[in-house]
Amino acid sequence: MSGDVKKNHDAKFKAKVALAMIKGSKLVTEICQEFDIAPSQAYAWKQQLEEAGNEIFADKRKIKKEKTYEKLLAELEQVREECNFLERVLSR
């Protein structure tokens, strides 16, 4: 493992490492030697996959609706703040 050069790995490589970690058929040291990475990096990618893995199979339509709903709530809050400001200014 070369500690001098910082490597940029693509998503496919990271997923491959994370899946090997989750599978658990090899020791962590073996996986790290095979892929030439540090154990801390392997654990980080494994954790990322475990945390975000459910998004892979999520219903994209539902996510889009939730984002739209959240965006509308934020806009509504902004309009309310503007109305409150205008009421204060006009009531003087």
Give the tens place of pLDDT for each residue, 9-43: 999 999 999 999 999 999 999 999 999 999 999 99
DSSP character string of 10-64: -HHHHHHHHHHHHH-SS-HHHHHHHHT--HHHHHHHHHHHHHHGGGTTS-HHHHH
What is the per-residue pLDDT for 91? 86
For the whole prediction, is pTM greater than 0.75? no
pLDDT digits (tens, 9 = 90+) for 33-70: 999 999 999 999 999 999 888 777 777 776 677 778 88
